[in-house]
Structure 1
Amino acid sequence: MSHPHTGGSVRLSRFASVATAVAALAALTGLTGATAAAQEAAAVNYVALGDSYSSGVGAGNYEGGDCKRSTRAYPQLWRSANAPSSFDFTACSGARTHDVINNQLGPLDAATTLVSISVGGNDAGFADAMSTCVLQGESACLARVEEARAYISQTLPGRLDAAYDAIRAQAPNAHVVVLGYPRMYELNGSCWFGISERSRAAINAAADDLHNVTSKRAADHGFTYGDVRGAFTGHEICSGDEWLHSTTWPISDSYHPTAEGQSGGYYPVMESLA
């Protein structure tokens, strides 16, 4: 009577051993699959598009060429911190929306997972407006800024739509981060010279218009918008702790973020959204 019982125990033990081995193999396979999935999820293919605020004009340490791409620009800082699988940096000084469409989208494809862009300021004639304000006095400044604000409200939305549509068409799977622009001036700040307070307030109002239009167009395309105005608060021109150049040499650096503006203003916003 004892032998059948013993044989049953052996068979049960063997069954348990096989079951354990199968379970262990399944667990190992699942772990390997999970690891592969995690590695695939971690693979980031990043393309940085845009104008001088994205290329890093004003931050120095440029790589060469007319686009003035800086190693201190926020896309390079994000790359250094996150080590994406691939990185293409096509942002260029002076770029408008049509320049992005025509000259910067080459690296985008279905494998692109992350895109960043700032664009629109040049379309609105920001550089010309600042030049007018500095050289021609308050009346000319206010008139030129009003012209820019009219463009921002009436024409820029369609220009942004065209650029955003082109990005989505070529990078259908990408997470797109659209970054805005800071206000230029701290009002009633520490500047004793330069343009008038009314001119400074008008320029800030134009920056707010850019924010309103760009954030709305980005949201309507399903893109993520990064408002950098808060990050630059207390660091505008006339603040005493400036992350933006005033009129400076080289002249092209004027009214652009310094290296601190890229690392302390733009980069943390990009990091939080990417």
Structure 2
Amino acid sequence: MAIGFDAPLYILPFDHRGSFETKMFGWTGDLTPGQTAEIAAAKRVIYDGFLAAADGGVPRDRAGILVDEQFGAAILKDAQARGFMTACPAEKSGQDEFDFEYGDDFAAHIEKISPTFCKVLVRFNPDGDATLNAKQTERLAILSDYLHSAAGPRFMFELLVPPEPAQLQQVGGDHRRYDAELRPQLMVRAITQLQDNGVEPDLWKIEGLDRRDDCEKIVLAARQGGREKVSCIILGRGEDDRKVREWLEVAASVPGFIGFAVGRTDFWEPLVAWRAGKVTREDAVAEIARRYREFADVFARGQAAQG
């Protein structure tokens, strides 16, 4: 059974790997040491924005980062030394089927990094391919058992529910209608199915929801069966500032949603502008800090309005 995590949590995620290489840098194939160092340096810009936001008012006991070992091992070490919460991914990047980044050595890598959270990103539609879902669930249960058998990281589960063709057809091919009309109930079913098969996250990382009652249903599913301390955070999904604010305001009004993980909306545009020479490094850092800090303020105000 999950231990849970119910303290406020404002995560700046920049654990992107495959998408970072191809979409930010335009690189494919194996990276050279120089390319690896260049990506690590770009991620340091994001991290410096995070540090600036913490210095500028984001509560340090709520602030955390999510970054990968490949490009961010030094960043994780520094953040831990400064007392921030950290999260590190365990999944291979850029594939539809969950598998371990480091194969059978996953535990050794988790123990080496020793983050606050071990995070997985999983695409799981309960009406999707049953064989694929079973294979993913088996691997995820192994990770869940490992994490809960050791006094180590908590289990953070990023649940993505991509539409099946028949589901999209049901809403006339409209992805926004799918998000509003079908995805919430599919997420509830996915959470229950995973829990019933031995996958016990302490924290669910949830795609944005437009309606408060859908957020409430997600929390009920996450906390069913004696899981009272299991919580949820909302993710940004790379949406624009306005949409992310809407999602944060809705989630913050619901007990059980304790924070957010907003990454690309914070850093993508400032980082692209810096790499293109349109802004200085200092300007990029300041803009990333501003965006992250403002999202933290939005969520904090929404929570304050609860009670």
Q: TM-score, normalised by structure 1?
A: 0.38
- Which structure: greater strand fraction? 2
Compare relative contact order (CA 8 Å, sep 6+) and give the higher one, 1 or 2.
Answer: 2
